[in-house]
Chains A and B, each alone.
Chain A
Amino acid sequence: MAYVIGPDCTDILDRSCIDVCPVDCIYVGERKSYINGNECIDCGACEVECPVEAIVVDRVAKKNPKFSPYLTDQESFFHDILPGRDAPLGDPNGATALGPVGVDTPLVAALPSNQ
């Protein structure tokens, strides 16, 4: 179970969600943030905080064609090897210590500008 950040976060990257996440499981890419589903505790604090309503719970995301690709994309951010890196991020157990990753998934990198 986890919350999912959809495409509206792209280029906004407000990070209010990060301020309220009690387990520090929201990781910043380059243009968008991503929630680590293994670390997320499903509390929902981020959902109400997002100024562009980019965050939904996975049960909702599955049924919503706008969000559903970002469910698998979010997993891919952690489990696949991102461009320019030589290993998957995995479960880093804390975004603050890791810092911004600085790279997005191919799906997000290819999105048109959202500004």
Chain B
Amino acid sequence: MSKAQKLATDVLILGAGPTGLYGAYYAGFRGLSTIVVDVLPQVGGQVMALYPEKQIRDVAGLPSIRGRDFIAALKEQADAFSPTYLLGRQAVTVEHSSDAAVVTLDDGTRIEAGAVVITAGIGTPKPRPLQAGSQWLDRGLSYFVVDPEVHRDQDVVIVGGGDSALDWADALSTLATSVTLVHRRSGFRGHAATLARVESSPNTTVLTECEVTAFDGDLANGQLQKVTVTHTSGEERLVAADHVIAALGFISDIGPLRTWGLQLAGRSIQVDRSMRTNVPRVYAAGDVADFDGKVRLMSVGFGEVATAVNHVAVELDPDLNLFPGHSTDES
């Protein structure tokens, strides 16, 4: 928390996907200072996470554009007004003062914002839980390898079939006493070359068509001893384990925003026709926003976030017009 900052801005945009980036442009165009926060280390949201190389063909005026080029163009457009980007960080709580919404991020940064525009898309990716060991989380179970050294001289069980599971099995094979890689399927999704290295490592055992079904040890003292691994045939075996690392992919969820008192429908936030939520000074736009007749497209999100930001401008300065003027009036 030593790096925790206190910042102030007219508009705080939560989510740096296409809608959030266009919102940053629009806020700048309206003369509002802007901070953009995203949990991912890069801007571009789903476009960059899921289909950066695919051609996008449904944005007005752009017959066909590659995902990453489109994001680069949106960022260039926003950067004309020099917004501040706080990436790799997540908004956790909101408090209300008489003239601002005060949002705290997971690194302790506090941002006093005249208004918050939530453009969080499908939300925050979080690790898919390993149900059998949920009570062991952060004791004998983790979802990431932060520091491989922690696992030196341990018996480690890694669960999963993708690149993360294979990379960690590969990295820990030279440090750990033993590595057991457990995967539910017979085939792995991760790179074949990594798999070949893992399979040839002398202290590594690969168990396919198997799941970790039970944890056993001294839970109170956080000392895991062994896990039960069950084959699809029903055959069970006990595997020595000081630690289990589950790499089962990610599920996106609206996350800490659930505690903000917002009116939610599933993973979406209800808004009115001005893109206002039920929480003062908080707006939403894009895939995360919901209203009767909603269509979840980027083109619609752009219109929504322009609507939101123009209403924010008037909320912050009632002397302003809702209509922003034309961008052609500049220059």
Contacts and interface: CB of A to CB of B under 8 A. Distances in A.
A21 B169 CA distance: 23
Interface in B247-268: 248-252, 266-267
B46 interface: yes
Given A19-B248, A22-B251, A41 B122 contact: yes
A24 B266 CA distance: 13
Contacts of B266: 38-39, 91, 93
B267 A51 contact: no
Contact of B251 (A15, A16, A49, A96): A96
A: contact size bracket = 20 to 34
B131 interface: yes
A60 interface: no
Given A96-B129, A96-B251, A45 B50 contact: yes
B252 A96 contact: no
A20 interface: yes
A22 B126 CA distance: 9
B50 A16 contact: no
Interface in A32-88: 38-39, 41, 43-45, 49, 51
B184 interface: yes
A49 B267 contact: no
A23 interface: yes
Interface string A1-44: 00000000000001110011111100000000000001101011
B185 A23 contact: no
Contacts of B57: none
A40 B235 CA distance: 35
Contacts of A44: 50-51
B249 A23 contact: no
Given A14-B185, A22-B122, A22-B125, A43 B251 contact: no
A49 B251 CA distance: 16
A92 to B, nearest CB: 10
A38 B290 CA distance: 13
Given A22-B125, A23-B252, A43 B162 contact: no
Contacts, number: 51
A83 to B, nearest CB: 25
A45 B160 CA distance: 17
A93 B125 CA distance: 15
A106 interface: no
Given A19-B249, A96-B131, A41 B287 contact: yes
B189 interface: yes
B286 interface: no
A49 B185 CA distance: 13
B165 to A, nearest CB: 10
B187 interface: yes
Interface in B184-229: 184-185, 187, 189
Contact of A22 (B131, B252, B287): B252
Given A93-B267, A96-B129, A19 B189 contact: yes
B161 interface: yes
A22 B248 CA distance: 11
A15 B46 CA distance: 22
B237 interface: no
27 contacts: A14-B185, A15-B184, A15-B185, A16-B161, A16-B185, A16-B189, A19-B128, A19-B161, A19-B189, A19-B248, A19-B249, A20-B162, A20-B189, A22-B50, A22-B122, A22-B125, A22-B251, A23-B122, A23-B251, A24-B128, A39-B266, A41-B296, A44-B50, A44-B51, A49-B189, A93-B267, A96-B131
Interface of B: 46, 50-51, 122, 125, 128-129, 131, 160-162, 184-185, 187, 189, 248-252, 266-267, 287, 296
Given A23-B251, A43-B51, A44-B51, 17 more contacts: A14-B185, A19-B160, A19-B248, A20-B162, A20-B249, A22-B125, A22-B250, A23-B122, A23-B252, A24-B128, A24-B251, A39-B266, A49-B189, A93-B267, A94-B251, A96-B129, A96-B251
